[in-house]
Structure 1
Amino acid sequence: MKKYYFLMPLLAVLLCGAQSFALVRVPPIISSGMVLQQNAKATLWGWADASERFTVVSSWKTTADEVTAAPGGKWKVQIETPPAGGPYTITIKGRGNTVVLDNILIGEVWLCSGQSNMEMSGTKQIRDILPTSANDKIRFFNVAKATSEYPQEFADGKWMACNEESLRRFSAVAYFFGREINKELNVPVGLIQSAWSGTPIELWEPQSIIDSDPDMVKASKTIKTVTYRPDKPGLIYNSMIAPIINYTIAGTLWYQGEGNVPRAYAYEKMLTGMIADWRKNNGNEFPFYIVQIAPFSGYEQPVDAALLMEQQTRTLKYPKTGMVVITDLVDDLKSQHPVDKLTVGQRLAKLALADTYKKPIPVAEYRNPLYNHMEIKKDKVNLYFDYAPNGFMLKGDAKQATEFMIAGADQKFVPADVVKLEKHSIVVSSKAVPDPVAVRFSFTNIAMSNLFNKEGLPVNPFRTDDWK
């Protein structure tokens, strides 16, 4: 029998190879404890053997979903989800293993992205509620920071229920938004945070989007190299958006812009280009809601912030977008980070409740007054607005609306002497400008006007000119 001993190692290798299969795997965002979008075709994806056939069994369904991996091993399937509820289980039965995902909730899922004001956590408003914050119907997934030259398939993170420990490290704005959605709709809410302090928008979209327009190319070449973030287009998109872009969501919250103030001229193109790309790769025309940047005294030129705000406002012409204005929430003009994240989250939630979830909320309660057009009558300018059907009001001690500037053909702006609030318009004039041609409102870095619509929302900064 000794003469057959030399065959035994070879036989062992052959037997092992014959029974060795690649394991069915899923990315971290597809895991136990996740929240899936309700009443949708929720996308699941992962990796398996080349062309492997397997089943996905969802505990809320009576039939299994059949899946076949691509020749390269990747697989993706859309599963019908029921109305909000849970917990449920998904069982993925592969040839070589079984993956069981349990404690799954079905509800509303939102991606929350941007720079430091989105990332900010542990604020006093958060610390005050930590002891009573536990809520298993609100869950967080925080995408780990990473960079890459090429689109990645894996982003680290873990689904966690809201509690004192998890909330301490999660976005304050996102949480306050999610808490309102959970309360008003009475459904589970999943919040995906993908944010990085100090990042310009170019880092959050593919290089190909930037390269599609000369203004975007020009602007991207002026990104400063610093130690606390990457400095090239696409580097964060590749590692913090691309790996999760398949996940089915209700919408996106975007709180960013400070990092692009020095090159505001390209921001509208960059933002709408990013929105289009994210929607295309997600396969869903989801709503996209923006937080306008806040007044800040530290920008180099006097109207730098206003120019970026103007670009953000122009984005509202893009389908299924919305914006909240926060010029009234600044506590310190020397800081880019207003501490009141509660009101920001509440305003975003009211916008979503009305615009996405079709709750019967008057439009002036969730859309800030926007300049529409003007009429010049001798030495006066009549200004007309959207989203102020009941007129305007002042807050504070001032007897007249502040931050209005008026100019003639010489393009020299002076403060308006008279600002008259009428129900359907605002009339401004100045003795120093007998023949006015242009008006600006809150069009500086530090403007914090006392002018609101009757519903209590601040008027959006604007200008009627396009002068350099």
Structure 2
Amino acid sequence: MASQTRLDGIFSSGMVFQRDVDNIISGYESGKDAVEISISGQRIRATVEGGRFRATIPAQSAARGLSITVQGSSRIVLDDVCFGDVFMLSGQSNMELPAERVLDVSEEEIAKINLPEIRQYRLEPQYEFDRSKKCELPMAPWTRAVAGEIMKMSAAGLFFAREIHAQEGVPIGLILNAQGGSSVEAWMPLALLERWGDYSSEPKRFSPPGALAKFIEDREASVAEWYRLNETEGNEVMATKIPAGAENIEIPTMYPEEEGTSFSGSVWFYKEIEIEDEPSGPAMLYVG
């Protein structure tokens, strides 16, 4: 295999570094003892150790449209690099929720946004319970708050970034690492969790190679089997129209409504919706 230089996934064209502080740029080099990083007339040399290099870029003031060149066994050029303010977006689904999912209440507002200096890097979750192994930053683009890219950006992050951009007048970088449904324990180091009890069993359970994949496979099979066992004849017929004898209910409600009663089985929920105009394209119906 030919020698090559490779940057960690977050370092790509269009990225945003934090202004007014030193920044790190890192990656892999397989054929030389050192690499050279060039930016704004500055040259930075980084030694390669164990196939890895790590260089410090001196603090830069707010800037736009810069180029960074990394020269090792191969040459990498990052274009349209900015220095501004960078924020980490952590949390659950309310932070992860993309702009395309809030169009029902914010379509006009989102359509007006054309702010290419607001950019987001998506840090996809990596499930690794073996602490001796290192997770790599994924290869993912920096998406901009412009038409064609904006819909996958965090809605909460987007509106926050728009406000900060208006106040500060500098590029805004968002690093989205939110994960819907994650527990607070999942965000905490095991050593810290030990203050509140023994949480070691779960990481140990999934540490062996392939244990997590096997767990997910078994869970999906179990869910599929549950659906199979709960299938009833006439599903297609039931889905075409509201059957005679269906009860009217007010939402929100509990079902069954009678206190002390229980129910096991499937519940069909029907709601008639009238559309004034024929849809002009693909449509989405939110049901929860």
TM over 0.5: yes
1:305-324 per-position Cα deviation (integer Å, ceiling 9, x unaligned): xxxxxxxxxxxxxxxxxxxx
For the residue of structure 1 that corresponds to 2:78, the secondary structure is strand
Change (3 A) 1:116 1:206: same
Alignment partner for residue 127 of structure 1, among 69, 82, 107?
107
Amino acid corresponding to residue 170 of structure 1 in structure 2: M
- Distance between the aligned counterparts of 1:35 and 1:22, measured in 2? 28
User: CA-to-partner distance for each residue in 1:389-411, whole Å, 9 max, x for gaps?
Assistant: xxxxxxxxxxxxxxxxxxxxxxx
Query: Are 1:53 and 2:30 counterparts?
Result: no
Question: Do 1:81 and 1:106's aligned partners in 2 also have CA atoms closer than 8 Å?
Answer: no
In structure 1, the partner of 2:54 is: 76
Cα distance in 2, alignment partners of residues 126 and 68 from structure 1: 49
1:74 Cα deviation from its structure 2 partner: 1.1
Q: Secondary structure at the match of 1:103?
A: strand
Choose the corresponding residue for 2:66, options 88, 108, 121.
88
Structure 2's unaligned 5+ residue stretches are 207-253, 255-288
- Relative distance call for 1:120 and 1:132 in structure 2 (3 A) is same
**1:95-134 deviations in whole A, cap 9, x for unaligned?**
x210111110110000101111111222144423222112
Deviation, structure 1 residue 51: 6.5
From 45, 70, 73, give the equivalent of 1:66: 45
Correspondent of 2:145 among 162, 183, 204: 162
1:243-322 equivalent positions in 2, closer than 5 A? none
Q: Between the two proteins, what is the percent identity of the paired residues?
A: 25
In the TM superposition, what is the alpha-carbon distance from 1:140 to its structure 2 partner? 1.0
CA RMSD, Structure 1 to Structure 2 (Å):
2.4
Once the two structures are TM-superposed, the CA of residue 175 in structure 1 deviates from its matched residue by 1.1
**Kept in 1: contact 2:14–2:80 (CA 8 A):** yes
CA change 1:107–1:86 in 2 (3 A) is same
Correspondence 1:141 to 2:121: yes
Alignment partner for residue 165 of structure 2, among 178, 182, 187? 182
User: Number of paired residues?
Assistant: 200
- Where relative contact order (Cα < 8 A, 6+ residues apart) is larger, the structure is 2
- Is the 8 Å Cα contact of residues 4 and 31 (structure 2) preserved in structure 1? no
Q: How far apart, CA to CA, are the structure 1 residues paired with 2:118 and 2:30?
A: 35
Would the aligned equivalents of 1:50 and 1:69 in 2 still touch at CA under 8 Å? no
- CA apart distance, 1:165: 3.4
Structure 2 match to 1:24: 5
CA distance in 2, matches of 1:85, 1:149: 39
- 1 CA distance for matches of 2:176 and 2:106? 16
Q: Is the CA contact 1:45–1:77 (under 8 Å) kept in the aligned structure 2?
A: yes
What SS does the corresponding residue of 2:8 show, helix, strand or coil?
coil
What is the letter of the counterpart of residue 45 of structure 2?
E
Query: Does the aligned pair in 1 maintain the 2:9–2:136 contact within 8 Å?
Result: no
Using the TM superposition, give the Cα deviation of residue 92 of structure 1 relative to its aligned residue in structure 2, in angstroms.
0.5
Question: Where do residues 291-440 of structure 1 align in structure 2 (5 Å cutoff)?
Answer: none
d(CA) in 1 for partners of 2:191 and 2:139? 25
**Distance in 2 of aligned mates of 1:49 and 1:156:** 19
Which one of 41, 46, 49 corresponds to residue 22 of structure 2?
A: 41
Partner of 2:279: none
Q: Contact between 1:203 and 1:232, CA under 8 Å: does it hold in 2? A: no
